[in-house]
Amino acid sequence: MRARFAGVGHYVPERIVRNQDLESIMDTTDEWIVERTGIHERRFVREGEGTSEQGLHAARAALKAAGLTPQDIDFIIFATLSPDYMFPGCGALLQEKLGCGTIGALDVRTQCTGFVYGLAVADSMIRAGMYRRILLVGAETQSMGLNLSTEGRDMSVIFGDGAGAAVLVAGDDDGPGVLDTVLHSEGSHAKELWMEVPTCLVPTTRTIELVNEGRHFPQMNGREVFKHATRRFVEAVDEVLARIGKTRDDIDLLVPHQANKRISDAVGERLGLPPARLVQNVQRYGNTTAASIPIALSEAIEQGRAKPGQLLILVAFGSGFTWGASAVRW
The mean of the pLDDT values for the chain is 97
Between CA 72 and CA 135 the distance in angstroms is 10
Between CA 1 and CA 128 the distance in angstroms is 8
Mean of pLDDT values over 175-197 = 97
pLDDT at 230: 97
Phi, psi torsion values for 248, nearest 5 degrees: -60, -35
pLDDT at 97: 98
- Global pTM exceeds 0.95: yes
- Reduced to 3 states (helix: H, G, I; strand: E, B; else coil), residue 18 is strand
Mean of pLDDT values over 235-242 = 98
Between CA 227 and CA 233 the distance in angstroms is 10
Centre a 10 Å sphere on the Cβ of residue 25 and count the other Cβ atoms it contains: 12
Binning pLDDT at 50, 70 and 90, where does residue 45 land?
A: very high
Mean of pLDDT values over 310-317 = 98
pLDDT at 264: 97
pLDDT at 145: 96
pLDDT at 320: 97
pLDDT in tens, 244-266: 999 999 999 999 999 999 999 99
Contact 315, 116 (CB under 8 A): yes
Sign, Cα dihedral of 47, 48, 51, 57:
negative
pLDDT at 46: 96
Between CA 301 and CA 1 the distance in angstroms is 24
pLDDT at 223: 95
Local structure of residue 315 (DSSP, 8 states): E
Active site residues: 112, 257, 287
pLDDT above 90: percentage of residues in the chain:
99
Nearest to 5 by CA among 243, 320, 297, 318: 297
